[in-house]
């Protein structure tokens, strides 16, 4: 329906230059699903499961800098500024450039990777076997899928999950939402606000009313745990 609506609007407004008179046509509402987010232990399990230096560096950089997979594979060596600790993302979504953070904790590993693969001072940071082209998105997605399986992580995980986890963990560590918006390249802060709904800072630390109830009245309930322990021993 959205496709038909937009096609008709283009026909009348752009081509015929006439007023669009059916703008009250009911349109389906978009689903508002929350993103899947890994906890920090799960992120570490994924990294530990990847033995290949190049692939592990790619996954770690995706999480460390909040990159889309399309941005990751198109990174160039000259885009990484290790002195200022920033990465220049060129022609990201919406053809917009932005800067994001480069972590000091990954600096030594990236240098080791750079030396191991004998990269120069310019060109693709993650080249394919044919060095005049970058690695494909499908390749690193397959690596991630194997790592998730090896790490026995039950959640549905994609490359974008690492980006979601980056934003959520920054929020949980106290980073201002406006900075996260800029790092992710979101045009509106409303897009970034979705991470407030999955952050344990705002949800996981809220105490259930049962906690307060049990704290006051636990002595009034039968001691089921002790009974179970006795029955087990018997």
Q: Catalytic: which of 93, 98, 99, 117?
A: 93
Q: Catalytic: which of 54, 76, 186, 201?
A: 186
Q: What CATH class has 40-197?
A: mainly alpha
Position 210 scores a pLDDT of 65
* Per-residue pLDDT reduced to its tens digit, 32-81: 788 889 999 999 999 999 999 999 999 999 999 999 999 999 999 999 99
Higher pLDDT: 135 or 16? It is 135
Residues with Cβ < 8 Å from 184, sequence gap 6 or more? Answer: 66, 100, 163, 167, 191, 192
State the Cα–Cα distance between residues 176 and 170, nearest whole angstrom: 8
Q: Catalytic: which of 68, 134, 164, 169?
A: 68
Higher pLDDT: 134 or 192? It is 134
CB of 87 closer than 8 Å to CB of 80: yes
Position 221 scores a pLDDT of 67
Active site residue 195: yes
- The answer for 91, left when phi > 0, alpha when psi is -120 to 50, beta otherwise, is left
Active site residue 186: yes
Question: b/e map of 189-220 (b: 16 or more CB within 10 Å)?
Answer: eeebebbeebbeeeeeeeeeeeeeeeeeeeee
CB of 198 closer than 8 Å to CB of 168: yes
The CB density around residue 14, as the number of other CB atoms within 10 Å, is 9
CB of 214 closer than 8 Å to CB of 225: no
pLDDT bin (cut points 50, 70, 90) of residue 8 is confident
* Per-residue pLDDT reduced to its tens digit, 114-150: 999 999 999 999 999 887 899 999 999 999 999 999 9
Determine the 3-state secondary structure of 127 from DSSP. strand
pLDDT bin (cut points 50, 70, 90) of residue 88 is very high
Active site residue 133: no
Higher pLDDT: 107 or 188? It is 107
Q: Say whether pLDDT at 161 is over 90.
A: yes
Q: Where in the chain is the domain with CATH 1.10.443.10?
A: 40-197
State the Cα–Cα distance between residues 124 and 116, nearest whole angstrom: 15
Position 149 scores a pLDDT of 96
Active site residue 224: no
Active site residue 173: no
């Amino acid at each position: 329906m959205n496709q038909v609506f937009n096609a008709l609007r283009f026909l009348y407004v752009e081509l015929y230059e006439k007023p669009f008179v059916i703008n009250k046509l009911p349109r389906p509402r978009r689903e508002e699903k929350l993103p899947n987010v890994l906890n920090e232990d799960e992120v570490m399990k994924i990294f530990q499961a990847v033995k290949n230096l190049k692939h592990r560096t790619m996954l770690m950089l995706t999480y460390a800098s909040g990159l889309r997979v399309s941005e990751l594979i198109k990174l160039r060596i000259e885009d990484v500024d290790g002195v200022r600790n920033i990465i220049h993302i060129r022609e990201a979504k919406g053809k917009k450039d932005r800067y994001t953070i480069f972590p000091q904790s990954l600096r030594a590993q990236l240098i080791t990777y750079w030396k191991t693969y004998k990269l120069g001072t310019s060109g693709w940071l993650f080249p394919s076997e044919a060095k005049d082209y970058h690695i494909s998105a499908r390749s690193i997605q397959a690596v991630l899928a194997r790592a998730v399986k090896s790490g026995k992580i039950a959640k549905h995980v994609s490359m974008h999950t690492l980006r979601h986890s980056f934003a959520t963990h920054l929020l949980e560590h106290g980073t201002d939402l406006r900075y996260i918006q800029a790092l992710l390249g979101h045009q509106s802060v409303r897009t970034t606000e979705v991470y407030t709904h999955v952050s344990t800072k705002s949800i996981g630390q809220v105490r259930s009313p049962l906690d307060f109830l049990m704290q006051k009245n636990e002595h009034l309930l039968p001691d089921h745990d002790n009974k179970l322990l006795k029955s087990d021993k018997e």
